[in-house]
Amino acid sequence: MSQQVVKPRVRGFICITSHPDGCAAAVREQIAYVKSRQPIEGGPKSVLVIGASTGYGLSSRISAAFGSGAATLGVFFERNGEGDKPGSPGWYNTAGFHAEAKKAGLKAVSINGDAFSAELKTQVIDAIKSKMPGGKIDLVVYSLASPRRTAPDGVTYKSVLKPTGAPFHAKNLDTDRKVVNDVTLETASADDIAQTVKVMGGEDWELWMNALDGAGVLKEGCQTVAYSYIGPRVTWPIYKDGTIGKAKEDLERAGRKIDSLMKLHRGRAFVSVNKAVVTQASSAIPVVPLYVSLLFKIMKAKGTHEGCIEQIQRLFEKQMYNGNALDFDENGRVRIDDWEMSADVQKAVFDLWPQVTTETFDAHADFAGYQTDFMKNFGFGLAGIDYEAPTEVERTLEDA
Residue 83's pLDDT band, with cuts at 50, 70 and 90, is confident
Dist. CA 253–CA 251, nearest whole Å? 5
Give 262-319 as a DSSP string.
Answer: HHTTT-EEEEEEPPP---TTGGGSTTHHHHHHHHHHHHHHHT----HHHHHHHHIIII
Alpha-carbon Rg for the chain, nearest whole angstrom, is: 20
Using pLDDT thresholds of 50, 70 and 90, give the confidence band for residue 397: confident
Is position 57 within any domain?
Answer: yes
Task: Give me the mean pLDDT over the 176-199 stretch.
Answer: 92
In a domain, 354, yes or no: no
pLDDT exceeds cutoff 80 at 201: yes
Split at pLDDT 50, 70, 90, the class of 307 is very high
- Number of C-alpha atoms within 13 angstroms, CB side, residue 353? 21
Residue 347: other Cβ atoms inside 10 A: 11
Alpha carbon separation from 73 to 115, 138, 264 (Å, rounded): 13, 12, 23
| Alpha-carbon span 142 to 46, nearest angstrom | 15
Q: Which residues pair with 3 in a beta bridge?
A: 392
Say which of 157, 239, 291, 370 is annotated catalytic: 239
Task: Using the predicted structure, report yes or no on whether residue 282 has a pLDDT greater than 80.
Answer: no
Q: Each residue of 246-259: pLDDT tens digit?
A: 999 999 999 999 99
Residues in the chain: 400
- The string of pLDDT tens digits covering residues 310-348 is 999 999 999 999 999 999 999 999 999 999 999 999 999
SS3 content of the chain, % helix, strand, coil (to 5): 40, 20, 40
Model confidence band, residue 383 (pLDDT cutoffs 50, 70, 90): very high
In a domain, 175, yes or no: no
C-alpha dihedral sign at 160, 164, 167, 171: negative
pLDDT of 92-116, one tens digit each?
Answer: 999 999 999 999 999 999 999 999 9
Average confidence (pLDDT) over 183-204: 95
User: Alpha carbon of 249 to those of 228, 256, 320: distances in Å?
Assistant: 10, 11, 23
Residue at 279 is within a domain: yes
Percent of all residues in the chain with a pLDDT value above 90, rounded to a whole number: 84
Known catalytic residue at 239 = yes
The pLDDT of residue 288 is 87
Model confidence at 239, pLDDT cuts 50, 70, 90, reads confident
CATH of the domain at 55: 3.40.50.720
> Does residue 357 belong to any structural domain of this protein?
no
Q: Is residue 345 part of a domain?
A: no
**Long-range CB pairs of 307-310, under 8 A, 24+ apart, other chains included:** 307/277, 307/373, 308/30, 308/55, 308/56, 308/58, 308/59, 308/277, 308/279, 309/30, 309/33, 309/34, 309/59, 309/62, 309/63, 310/33
The mean pLDDT of 40-60, rounded to a whole number, is: 97
Give the pLDDT score at 367. Answer: 93
pLDDT at 248: 95
> CB–CB of 268/337 below 8 Å?
no
| 34-42: average pLDDT | 96
What is residue 219's predicted lDDT score, i.e. its pLDDT? 97
What domain range is 40 assigned to? 3-147+156-162+191-286+306-339+378-392
Domains of the chain: total: 1
Cβ-based burial of 330 (10 A; exposed 0-12, middle 13-18, buried ≥19):
exposed
pLDDT at 234: 82
Q: What is the DSSP letter of 232?
A: -
Name the average pLDDT for the chain. 94
Whether residue 344 is contained in a domain is answered as no
- Using CB atoms within 10 Å of the CB of residue 97, give its burial: 0 to 12 exposed, 13 to 18 middle, 19+ buried: buried
In a domain, 177, yes or no: no
Supply the DSSP string of 173-186, one letter for each residue.
Answer: EETTTTEEEEEEEP
Residues 125-138: tens digit of each pLDDT:
999 999 999 999 99
- Check: CB of residue 277 under 8 Å from CB of residue 340: no
pLDDT of residue 1: 61
**β-strand 10-11 against 14-15: which pairing, if any?**
antiparallel
Extended strands (E) in the chain: 3-4, 10-11, 14-15, 46-50, 71-76, 108-112, 137-142, 148-150, 156-158, 168-174, 179-185, 218-228, 268-273, 334-335, 391-392
What is the pLDDT at residue 14? 83
In 3D space, the residue among 98, 92, 91, 87 whose CA is nearest the CA of residue 62 turns out to be 98
pLDDT-derived band at 356, boundaries 50, 70, 90: very high
> How far out from the chain centre does Cα 8 lie?
22
Separation CA 15–CA 29 (nearest Å): 21
pLDDT of 79 strictly over 70: yes
- Give the span between the Cα atoms of 291 and 314, in whole angstroms: 23
The amino acid sitting at 256 is R
* Per-residue confidence (pLDDT) for residue 134, from 0 to 100: 96
